[in-house]
Structure 1
Amino acid sequence: MDHLIFEVGLALVLIAAAGLLSAKLRFSVVPFYILIGMAVGPHAMKIWHLDFRFIESQPFIEFMGRIGILFLLFYLGLEFSVGRLIKSGKSIAVGGSIYIGINFTLGLIFGFASGFPAAEALIIAGITTISSSAIVAKVLVDLKRTANPETEMILGIIMFEDVFLAVYISILSGLVLSDSSSIGGVIVSALVALGFMLIVIILGRKATPLLNKVLKIRSNELFSLVIFGALFLVAGFSETIHVAEAIGALLVGLVLAETEHAKRIEHLILPFRDFFGAVFFFSFGLSIDPLALGGEAVWLALIAVVLTLFGNFLAGMLAGRSAGLSPKASANIGLTIVSRGEFSIIMANMGKAGGLLPLLQPFAALYVLILAILGPLLTKESKHVFRLLDKIFKFKDPRKKKEEPKVLQKEG
């Protein structure tokens, strides 16, 4: 561990340089963090003949990246609230079902149509269905869209995806990894994930008066310890019961957003969110081997990207319509959650552990890289994308139909 500090320092300088470049070019910073990580990752020496391998520090950088996911989702929860989420419960269930149904079906059809065996097709469907909660959180906060009407649906879909992921991983672990996985076990996994979320939300809201008293701490040091302790404890516990640690962090944020100390917590978390969030995207880039991004994987990834863009936009429009949102807000849903990331890589690694076709790894890496770069750009330019598509398809606003009779009555 002699060079750990030096390697971490080098990584932070590279991350800062990428951030400065993105600011100068006025582009989303996420793609730059990922690309710089990929450029100096473990395989970079073969390309540049320079020793940027981060041999000793890579596990530590990856751990810092995991912390970054927690802060990103925790802060997003703080910007939202449990009350808003509960009010949108029914529309979120409908929207989440629409999103999962469309994207999973397209992924499964794509896997079989590409000639993959059943197990590989199921892995591909998982890779193409689950969006990146970390990238979505980063983009929503950076673009200041946390108060937008469609954000309720976006957060709801992220949580809905996690319940689906818990069930799906339970099924695939039995099929791919040859573990015993009964129908009862799958049902239990789903109920545990859903029950945990509901319990935290309900108890958290009931406990708001108590939390207000407990958090009346003058010392910033003690206040930080209490908040960080709650965040890591709940996120870590959620992981032990097969609920993503990022969702646990989101739930803590949602609960604390109801307290009178929410603004103080936001001020405390902000620098940690930005610092560790940047490290997460850099560490994500380190995991991608640029030398493996070629051959048949390129065409498969490009086709999958097109299908995902279509599926996400369609799902966003339908989910938004079911919730009574405008076509523009509905388009924002599909364009915001198009990014793929950490969960897709988990699915690919499961295929590798199960001894499935090695093509899954480069396909997943390239697919994730393209959408991790394209997603934030589409979200930022969602207004222009919607205007362009609206000229072609002439989207109708369902709310105007409800308003028309009232206007006629006034005129009469």
Structure 2
Amino acid sequence: MGHLPKLIEDLALILIVAAITTLLFRRIKQPLVLGYIIAGLLVGPHLSLTPTVVDTTNVKILADIGVIFLLFSLGLEFSFKKLMRVGGAASVTAFVEILFITITGYFLGKLMGWSTMDSMFLGGMLASSSTTIIIKAFDELGVKTKLFARIVFGVLVVEDIVVILLMVLLSTVAITQQFEGSEMLFTVAKLLFFLVLWFIAGIFLLPSLLRLVKPLLDEETLLVLAIGLCLGMVVLATQVGFSAELGAFIMGSILAETTTAEKVEHLLTPVKNLFGAIFFVSVGMLIDPEMIIEYRWPVILVTSWTLIGKLGSTTIGALISGQPLKQAVQVGMSMAQIGEFAFIVAALGLSLGVTSDFIFPVAVGASAITTFTTPYLIKFSEPFYNFISGKLPPKWIRALNNYSSSTQNIQAEGDWQKVFKAYVNIAVTNGIVLLAFILLSLKFLLPFLDETIENDITRSIIALVISFGVSAPFLLALMTKRPNNMGYKELWLDKKYSRGPLLVLEIIRNIIGLLIIGFWIDRLFSTTIAILMAVPATLFVLFMFSKRIQKFYQRIEGRFLSNLNARELAAEQKNASSENLLRRHFSPQSDLSPWDAHMIDLEINPLARYVGKTLEELGWREKFGVNIAYIKRGDKLIYAPGRDNRLLPFDNIGIIATDEQMQAFKPVFDTSEEVHTKEQDVEDIIVQKFVVDEHNKLKGLTIRDSGIRERTNGLIIGIQRNKSRILNPNSNTTFEWGDIVWIVGERKKIQKLNEA
């Protein structure tokens, strides 16, 4: 290579400067993302004191790849099943916060005189909080075991998926310039349709493919396959009118349900880190310091509104979801910052050419300030609650607490809710698959038949047979499949009150099935033929072969469910039955919410002072009011342990307690033997020998009575007596004259023993 391309020179500059700045930021314990942005500012075109990147076009392409890998990695960590497990409290809190801050962010932009698109993207930028910053702050402050932290993590999960959808909507609006409500509803419906369709198809096909080629996969081929699938979905998403980021996220979330998810995530981490660093550096390159100074007031306004608006809206959302005032305030003060998604949203607007250049400085300035304020807000959330509770009238506090208790009581899921959810799942999943088959027929099958068959009747009959032959299992499931749960059976047996509404649901879904049949046949034949001949004939064929069709559908459904649960089943097999026992015996955290208690899983420190003691000797329930729900020891689970059970090193125990009880109990749980806290090198531990004589006065003493173990912090490992040797003597062995004693212990203490 005679001439070195400018891109390689630019990459060398970017990565060296990024490495230096991130080392500095790690030293001062600040988020690395800010370090990358500072690196971009240093190598960007707006600073003349430092070397500057030349080939900005190719760097931007690498940055776009970085966004794709960031979203792909987020999907691998996310999974749709994880979203389904998020409690109602976190979901309600997230939606209230996102709706409020997005709308008010838009009006804040209009108030500052910004354009409509700038204001819309500002609302999207404010919608997300930083998972990285929050987890880091929780670790440093030691509050991860508190109940409000669990709600925060759930809110962050919901935020991730909602912000992805916001990005798709913003990009669609930016391209079409359509702001009407009908267009927005159509975009949302189209988005949800493709999301469900891709998820169903991906879960049905992808795990089977991975199982088929598993013997041929090593780390290299798995990484290449995963990146190929990611980029393939990116192409597919852009072809149907969505963003590349959505495609990467969807493929990541599909792979997250497979047994290879952890391995793919591990292999992808270096790739994601490299391209992600280039993306955030490219963000910093767009920052003009003069523009930050020029737009200092928008930065201050956006930062102030982020702190006030997100704190207030998240607190209100938590209160609406049924959380007590204290937890609601703690959740609100934890979420008051702008996350890394703000940079991705801002970059999206610039890449589409619909937002102004000053969006980036405002986003970076507000994000940097709220990053530094987050730990302090979390730290002072409890004092702030005490201040508020002291100012509010007592009857307000009682009303909020009563509302929280009553909300928790009505969150128990009844039979009708379960049955209705099951009906909705059947209708939505099968309906979307049928709609996909109809679209494929209209777009590909009919044009192909038009070109190959001249006779209209013959062409229509062939199209009808092929399309309904493929879709028959899903059509029959939509019309006849019943919910497979005890709630449905109990309601069906209740003839007086429940059978009537159930029959109404059955009639409604059969009408939906008939409408789908009628719509499709009407596209092929005239309305009269459809009503008089085609629809009855189709229904006759469906029900004549219903048993065969049902068996085929059950095979398809079984394969789908097996693939969907493959990761969990593999984890259960790996961990034997202990995790399964935990899930079976212990209810979700929300069940304990009326008592303000929750269950925390803690690991026993092998150096803890209480190791080896029984629960009766510890008396934790009497002293601190906490209960031990289980002890997990390797693959063994001790459920509801008794007073004679002992705690051993590396046991996992489930503690049921309130936040106040945990605050008093945690320091006791974390205590360890001071003698073991001192750092020692291996060289400090030696094997040495001494002779029992008149100087050490050990003759006639047993090993236990001599106190050698305590004096040397060591062990007697051997005694040579005359011509015999005693290996690992027991503690009752008596020393005799001339014994040569071998001891392992601390160098200095053994030397003092010999000197004595």
Give the structure-1-normalised TM-score.
0.78
SS at match of 2:83: helix
1:255 aligns to what?
Answer: 254
Whole-Å separation in 2 of the counterparts to 1:36 and 1:406: 49
Match of 1:22 among 10, 13, 25: 25
Q: Tell me the distance in 2 between the aligned counterparts of 1:349 and 1:248.
A: 17
Q: What CA deviation, in whole Å up to 9, does each residue of 1:26-62 have, x standing for no partner?
A: 11111111012112201212xx2x4x23112x22222
Question: For 1:320 and 1:206, how far apart are their aligned partners in 2?
Answer: 37
Candidates 306, 312, 331, aligned match of 2:304: 306
What is the distance in 1 between the residues matched to 2:364 and 2:54?
A: 23
Cα offset for 1:188?
A: 2.9
Is the 8 Å Cα contact of residues 96 and 317 (structure 2) preserved in structure 1?
Answer: yes
- Residue 69 (1) aligns with residue 67 (2): yes
Cα deviation per residue 1:203-242 (whole Å; 9 max; x = unaligned)?
3444565255146243222211111111122134324444
Query: Is 1:153 aligned to 2:155, yes or no?
Result: yes
CA contact (8 A) 2:307 2:370 kept: no
CA shift in 2, pair 1:225/1:288, >3 Å: same
The correspondence of residues 2-401 of structure 1 with structure 2, limited to 5 A, is 2-45=5-48, 48=49, 50=50, 52-56=51-55, 58-88=56-86, 94-95=92-93, 97-114=95-112, 116=113, 120-121=115-116, 123-131=118-126, 136=130, 139=133, 148-171=150-173, 184-207=182-205, 209-214=207-212, 216=214, 217-295=216-294, 297-322=295-320, 326-327=327-328, 328-329=330-331, 331-335=333-337, 337=339, 340-347=342-349, 360-362=356-358, 364-378=359-373, 383-394=378-389
> Which has the higher mean CA deviation after the structures are superposed, 304-313 or 323-332?
323-332
Q: Secondary structure at the match of 2:283?
A: helix
Q: Is the 8 A contact 1:338 1:371 kept in 2?
A: no
Give the Cα separation in 2 of the matches to 1:348 and 1:341.
Answer: 11
Moved more, 68-77 or 10-19: 68-77
Question: Any unmatched runs of 5+ in structure 2?
Answer: 390-396, 409-591, 597-756
CA contact (8 A) 2:234 2:248 kept: yes
1:285-307 per-residue CA deviation (whole Å, 9 max, x = no partner) reads 01122222233x21122112211
Alignment partners' CA distance in 2, 1:404 and 1:312: 24
Fraction of identical pairs, as percent: 19
Contact 1:95 1:157 in 2 (8 A): no
Partner of 1:357: none
* Counterpart residue type for residue 293 of structure 1: I
* Native 8 Å contact 1:112 1:121 kept in 2: yes
The CA deviation at 1:140 is 6.9
Distance 1:186 1:267 in 2: 38
For the residue of structure 2 that corresponds to 1:281, the secondary structure is helix
Report the secondary structure of 1:27's partner residue.
Answer: coil
For 2:194 and 2:87, the matched residues in 1 are separated by: 16
Q: In structure 1, what residue type is equivalent to 2:289? A: P
SS in 2 for 1:291: helix
2:249 and 2:303 mapped to 1: Cα distance? 27
Q: Which amino acid aligns with 2:31?
A: S
Give the number of the structure whose alpha-carbon radius of gyration is greater.
2
Residues 311 and 255 from structure 1, CA distance in 2 versus in 1: closer, same or farther, beyond 3 angstroms? same
SS of residue in 1 equivalent to 2:357: helix
- Report the 3-state secondary structure (helix = DSSP H, G, I; strand = E; otherwise coil) of the residue aligned with 1:277: helix
Q: 2: CA distance between counterparts of 1:128 and 1:247? A: 19
Secondary structure class of the residue paired with 1:188: helix
Query: 1:236–1:384: structure 2 CA closer, same or farther, 3 Å change rule?
Result: farther
Q: Distance in 1 between matches of 2:336 and 2:247?
A: 24
1:65-99, CA deviations, whole angstroms, 9 ceiling, x for partnerless residues?
22222333322332333212134497777555423
Aligned-partner SS, 2:119 = helix
Superposed displacement of residue 251, structure 1: 2.3
Amino acid aligned to 1:191 = A
CA contact (8 A) 1:95 1:320 kept: yes
Opposite residue 311 of structure 2, the aligned amino acid is F
Range that drifts further, 281-290 or 142-151: 142-151
* d(CA) in 2 for partners of 1:215, 1:149: 40
For residues 341-386 of structure 1, the C-alpha deviation after alignment (integer angstroms, 9 at most, x for no partner) is 2213444676x758xxxxx532x23211113323444555663253
In structure 2, relative to structure 1, the CA distance for the partners of 1:74 and 1:193 (3 Å cut) is same
2:60 alignment partner AA: E
What letter is aligned with 1:367?
Answer: V
- Give, in angstroms, the shift of residue 406 of structure 1: 7.1
Between Structure 1 and Structure 2, how many residues are aligned?
Answer: 386
Q: Secondary structure at the match of 2:293?
A: coil
**CA, structure 1 residues 343+96, in 2 after alignment: closer, same or farther (shift >3 Å)?**
same
- Superposition deviation, residue 253 in structure 1: 2.2
> Do the aligned partners of 1:30 and 1:376 also contact (CA within 8 Å) in 2?
no
Equivalent-residue separation in structure 2 for 1:20 and 1:233 (angstroms): 36
* Partners of 1:234 and 1:252 within 8 A in 2: yes
Q: How far apart are residue 335 of structure 1 and its match? A: 3.9
Paired AA for residue 200 in structure 2: I
* Residue 248 of structure 1: how far off its partner (Å): 2.7
Conserved in 1, the CA contact under 8 Å of 2:334 and 2:377? yes
Shift of 1:391: 3.8
| Contact in 2 for aligned 1:339/1:371 (Cα 8 Å) | no
- Identify which range, 244-253 or 18-27, moves more after superposition: 244-253
Aligned to 1:294, the other structure's residue is in SS state helix
Query: After alignment, is 12-21 or 145-154 more displaced?
Result: 145-154
Q: Is the 8 A contact 2:14 2:43 kept in 1?
A: no
SS in 2 for 1:341: helix
Q: Which amino acid aligns with 2:34?
A: P
The CA deviation at 1:14 is 0.3
Shift of 1:21: 0.5
Match of 1:410 in 2: none
Code of the residue aligned with 2:158 in structure 1: it is: G
Change in 2 beyond 3 A, CA 1:306/1:240: farther
What code does the residue aligned with 2:125 have? Answer: I
Secondary structure in structure 2 of the residue aligned to 1:150: helix
CA contact (8 A) 2:34 2:368 kept: yes
User: What per-residue deviation string (whole Å, max 9, x for no partner) do you get for residues 90-119 of structure 1?
Assistant: 7777555423431233224323433x27xx
Give the superposed CA RMSD.
3.7
Q: Distance in 1 between matches of 2:593 and 2:52?
A: 64
TM-score of the superposed pair, with normalisation by structure 2: 0.45
